[in-house]
Structure 1
Amino acid sequence: MIGELFLLYYEFFKIGLFAVGGGMATLPFLYDLADKYDWFTQKMVGDMIAISESTPGPIGVNMATYTGFQNAGPVGAVVATMGLITPSIIVIIIIAQFLKKFSESQTVQDIFYTLRPAVTGLIGAVAVTLITGEVINAGAFSQGGTISEIFKFKEVIWFFILIVLTNKYKKHPLFYICISAAVGILFSF
């Protein structure tokens, strides 16, 4: 049990330390964890994104809490979540000590400026992974399946409907999240 808790803390600490750019930047690390351990599957990461977008809290924190709870109960949930947020707490404490000097440093500004393309690339890679996992049936594609077998048409149609609706009607994102949840339940997505 202690070994499992340590492993949860360690793995999520690494994610918290290296996932610069917010919740979406944690996704490549979460997919890697799905390959490394039997804590959750890659499909569950896609489901967790949907759940996290409709519940409070960032994706990484929600996934750490879920993974910890599934593998070691409430204590595991706390340990995994603490592992994920500990690096941020340490960095914030250090930055708070040197805030003025840190914010005016050209080197630091240059570092963050050059990190932007890397974070954009990570988020783009996740977008491709989500599209291929949630909209395209990669197995049917690789086996030369028909167009109706390759594309998940309900998801594609709903995607384009949402694009039209969000551009035409400027509603709060929560409105579209609730509508999407209802459509998903109604049409068994």
Structure 2
Amino acid sequence: MLYIKLFLIYLEIGLFGFGGGYAMLSLIQDKVVTQMHWLSNSEFTDIVAVSQMTPGPIGINSATYIGYKVTGSIWGAVTATTAVSLPSVILVLIISYCFAKFKGNKFVAAAFVGIRPATVGLIASAAMLLTLQSGSIYYLIQHISGAIAWDKVVVTENFLDWKSWIIFLGAFIVTIKKWIHPILTIVLAGLIGFLLY
């Protein structure tokens, strides 16, 4: 029964996860954390971090890990990975067959124009979910406005404290400026986190 439920949930995620893995994150979080309670918010954040670092699409990487974690079996990983990939495989086969006929159609072109901003919104939603789940942004705003004393704030997930924000900002800057290769940035951030925590 658990495998069927896992398969159906990831089939739905794969079918409605327009815009790729990052756009899927808010849908995955809603299904796996909020509805099914298979993972906590901090576990989900950890899975996203590991899925970003490992080769391959983030949606498939996270499906593999979550499938294994939920069932405790390699077959859970295979079930979730197959389910999330299946709609894309079928849709690509259908679209590649039909695209030549419909690429000049104004309705198809209009549909793609409409999907683009929705995809950006889904990716922004995923980023906000990862940072706002712990309430750290809320507490930061409250502190700046003087509504709450900083020493009363206890944040236990996602961006833990000022050290986490420093690591984040440092990694963001060196990535944007292209001073260090992204893989080296990930390794250095992990080492700094290991030393600080």
Q: TM class by shorter-chain length?
A: 0.7 to 0.9
Q: 1:12·1:84 contact (CA, 8 Å) conserved in 2?
A: yes
Deviations 1:103-136 (CA, angstroms, capped at 9, x unpaired): 3333222211111111111111222222224681
Q: 2:175·2:181 contact (CA, 8 Å) conserved in 1?
A: no
Pairwise CA distance, 1:159: 2.3
How far apart, in 1, do the equivalents of 2:174 and 2:139 lie? 31
Q: Which residue of 1 aligns with 2:100?
A: 100
Pairs within 5 Å for 1:27-176: 27-33=25-31, 34-72=33-71, 73-133=73-133, 136=136, 145-147=148-150, 149=153, 152-176=161-185
Please provide the CA RMSD for this pair: 2.5
The one-letter code sitting in structure 1 at the alignment partner of 2:115 is: L
Q: State TM-score, norm by structure 1.
A: 0.86
Structure 1 gap segments, 5+ residues each: none
The one-letter code sitting in structure 2 at the alignment partner of 1:16 is: G
How far apart, in 2, do the equivalents of 1:80 and 1:167 lie? 34
Pairwise CA distance, 1:38: 2.9
How far apart, in 2, do the equivalents of 1:40 and 1:17 lie? 22
Pairwise CA distance, 1:141: 7.6
> Secondary structure at the residue paired with 1:98?
helix
Structure 2 gap segments, 5+ residues each: none
> Secondary structure at the residue paired with 1:171?
coil
Change (3 A) 1:71 1:161: closer
Deviations 1:138-180 (CA, angstroms, capped at 9, x unpaired): 57988x6423537721112222223333344433211211111
How far apart, in 1, do the equivalents of 2:50 and 2:161 lie? 20
Change (3 A) 1:138 1:99: same
Deviations 1:75-117 (CA, angstroms, capped at 9, x unpaired): 1111111110110011011012123123333322221111111
Change (3 A) 1:91 1:169: closer
How far apart, in 2, do the equivalents of 1:17 and 1:167 lie? 33
Pairwise CA distance, 1:59: 2.0
How far apart, in 1, do the equivalents of 2:60 and 2:23 lie? 12
How far apart, in 1, do the equivalents of 2:42 and 2:120 lie? 22
Query: 1:182 pairs with 173, 176, 191, which one?
Result: 191
Q: 1:135·1:156 contact (CA, 8 Å) conserved in 2?
A: no
Q: 1:95·1:102 contact (CA, 8 Å) conserved in 2?
A: no
Q: State TM-score, norm by structure 2.
A: 0.83
How far apart, in 2, do the equivalents of 1:133 and 1:141 lie? 15
Between the aligned residues of both structures, percent identity stands at 31
> Secondary structure at the residue paired with 2:51?
helix
